[in-house]
């Protein structure tokens, strides 16, 4: 069989993504984002996102097909994010995917958003090392996972016990008067700042915390610490050195993420770390992970930034792998599951 041609749809948050792949080859990755519509609220408004998905869906599918130079009838399967994510937003993607699958008479795969963040790296660096240690860091999740075969399941080793890494970036950006979503702005501001200007706390790294939370994360104390620091400056009537605070905060987040990822990989005897999710676009995280892992004899794979943030290509990539490995498709009464567990790859 030639490699499967799969169309993937992603609508779990504020990006309407439609990707088309043939096996591990990316043919199109069309994304329409409603991020501008949410910016003035400082966060994603679910109803606004759902409405934007409805409006963007058909044009984005058409754009993806045009770029890939295929007709809808040519696809072998439709894949869609069935969860986790915003319920109303997921629903638009799932309903659209069902309509396509039914109308075209093609199998439907309702896939896990987080597993798709892992699978996308195949489009850039080829088949995933098995096993690999995946660190997923996004606006909604921060987890360390052992991945044996991404089509069968993943084993959670640890996760955040409060804020997600991306959420911390977004909240700290707001404190510093930077726009939403904050990650890219902090990343940029930090380039001209000093990462040792403030020694912000590294959550869950004390010896006592490591006993219970060796592979877990906590970012809410760090966020509070930045808030206190900024408030103290403002109360004293002194200017806040935005670039230095951004760099010091970013250093604290990256330090903990990388330390724990390398520790988990070493503990599991795994030689490859894969980083995915929106925060994986972070310049400092990419550099620090590569450098520190190399010192431990561990390789690091990170997809290019455009594939790290939410997109349809990641869903198509996982779909193609599911087809290639002969996994069962979903049924046409597939529900959107806003809290789909990380252990459920195909719903």
Annotated binding site for Fe cation: 113, 117, 310
Q: How far is CA 287 from the centre of its chain?
A: 18
* Residue 10 in the binding site for Zn ion (CB under 5 A): no
Contact 79, 277 (CB under 8 A): no
Q: Which residues contact 340 (CB under 8 A, 6 or more apart)?
A: 82, 83, 84, 112, 113, 347
DSSP code at position 302: -
| Among the listed residues 33, 50, 82, 138, the single contact to Zn ion using CB under 5 A | 138
Identify which range of 134-142, 167-175, 222-230, 339-347 contacts Zn ion by CB under 5 A: 134-142
Q: How far is the CB of 301 from ligand KG4 (least distance, A)?
A: 17
Q: Let me know if 95 is exposed, middle or buried by CB neighbors in 10 A (0-12, 13-18, 19+).
A: middle
Q: Is the dihedral of CA 252, 256, 262, 265 positive or negative?
A: negative
Nearest distance from C-beta of residue 14 to Zn ion, angstroms: 10
Instruction: Detail the residues annotated as belonging to a binding site for substrate.
Output: 136-140, 170, 183, 187, 282
Residue closer to ligand KG4 by CB (options 310, 321) is 310
Q: Are 40 and 180 in contact (CB under 8 A)?
A: no
Q: Which of 187/321 has CB closer to ligand KG4?
A: 187
How far, CA to CA in Å, does 260 sit from each of 106, 158, 283?
42, 9, 18
Of 138-146, 179-187, 279-287, 294-302, the window that binds Zn ion (rule: CB under 5 A) is: 138-146
The yes or no reply on residue 310 touching Zn ion (CB under 5 A) is: yes
The pair of three-digit structure tokens given for residue 37, joined into one six-digit string: 């519509």
Residue 215 or 219 with smaller CB distance to ligand KG4 = 219
Piece in contact with Zn ion (CB under 5 A), picked from 44-52, 69-77, 153-161, 306-314: 306-314
311 binds Zn ion per the rule CB under 5 A: no
Q: Which is nearer to ligand KG4, 181 or 319 (CB)?
A: 181
Give the shortest CB-207-to-ligand KG4 separation in angstroms. 29
E strand map for the chain: 5-10, 15-22, 25-33, 77-83, 108-112, 132-137, 142-149, 153-159, 272-276, 299-301
- Picking from 124, 132, 129, the residue whose alpha carbon sits closest to that of residue 154 is 132
Residues 166-225 that bind Zn ion (CB under 5 A): none
Q: Which of 254, 24, 268, 253 is nearest to 133 (CA)?
A: 268
Candidate segments 25-33, 99-107, 295-303, 307-315, binder of Zn ion by CB under 5 A: 307-315
Q: Using CB under 6 A, list all residues that contact ligand KG4.
A: 13, 138-140, 166, 169-170, 181-184, 187, 277-279, 281-282, 309-310
For ligand KG4, the closer CB: 29 or 170: 170
Q: How far is the CB of 224 from Zn ion (least distance, A)?
A: 25
Residues 6+ apart with CB under 8 A from 267: none
Output the CA–CA distances (angstroms, integers) from residue 107 to 21, 58, 259, 331, 336, in the order listed.
Answer: 16, 20, 41, 9, 17
Stretch that binds Zn ion, among 17-25, 41-49, 135-143, 172-180 (CB under 5 A): 135-143
Contacting positions for Zn ion (CB under 5 A)? 138, 310
């Amino acid at each position: 069989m030639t490699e499967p041609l799969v169309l993937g749809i992603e609508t779990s948050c504020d990006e309407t993504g439609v990707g088309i792949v043939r096996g591990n080859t990316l043919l199109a990755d069309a994304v329409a984002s409603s991020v501008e519509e949410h910016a003035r609220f400082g966060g994603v408004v679910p109803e606004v996102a759902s409405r934007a998905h409805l409006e963007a869906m058909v044009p984005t599918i058409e754009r993806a097909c045009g770029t890939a130079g295929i007709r809808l009838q040519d696809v072998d399967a439709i894949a869609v994010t069935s969860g986790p994510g915003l319920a109303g937003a997921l629903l638009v993607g799932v309903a659209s995917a069902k309509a396509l699958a039914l109308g075209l008479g093609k199998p439907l795969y309702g896939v896990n958003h987080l597993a798709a963040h892992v699978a996308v790296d195949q489009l850039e660096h080829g088949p995933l090392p098995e096993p690999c240690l995946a660190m997923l860091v996004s606006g909604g999740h921060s987890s360390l996972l052992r991945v044996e075969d991404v089509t069968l399941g993943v084993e959670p080793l640890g996760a955040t016990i409060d804020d997600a890494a991306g959420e911390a970036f977004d909240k700290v950006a707001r404190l510093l008067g930077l726009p939403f979503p904050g990650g890219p702005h902090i990343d940029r501001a930090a380039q001209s700042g000093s990462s040792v200007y403030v020694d912000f706390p590294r959550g869950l790294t004390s010896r006592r915390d490591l006993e219970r939370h060796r592979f877990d994360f906590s970012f809410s104390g760090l966020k509070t610490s930045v808030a206190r620091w900024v408030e103290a400056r403002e109360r004293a009537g002194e200017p806040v050195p935005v670039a230095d605070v951004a760099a010091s905060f970013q250093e604290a987040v990256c330090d903990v993420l990388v330390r724990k990822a390398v520790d988990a990989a070493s503990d599991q005897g795994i030689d490859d770390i894969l980083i995915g999710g929106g925060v994986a676009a972070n310049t400092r995280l990419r550099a620090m992970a590569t450098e520190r892992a190399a010192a431990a004899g561990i390789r690091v794979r990170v997809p290019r930034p455009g594939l790290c943030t939410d997109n349809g290509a990641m869903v198509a990539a996982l779909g193609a792998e599911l087809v290639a490995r002969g996994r069962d498709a979903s049924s046409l009464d597939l529900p959107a599951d806003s809290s789909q567990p990380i252990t459920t790859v195909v719903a």
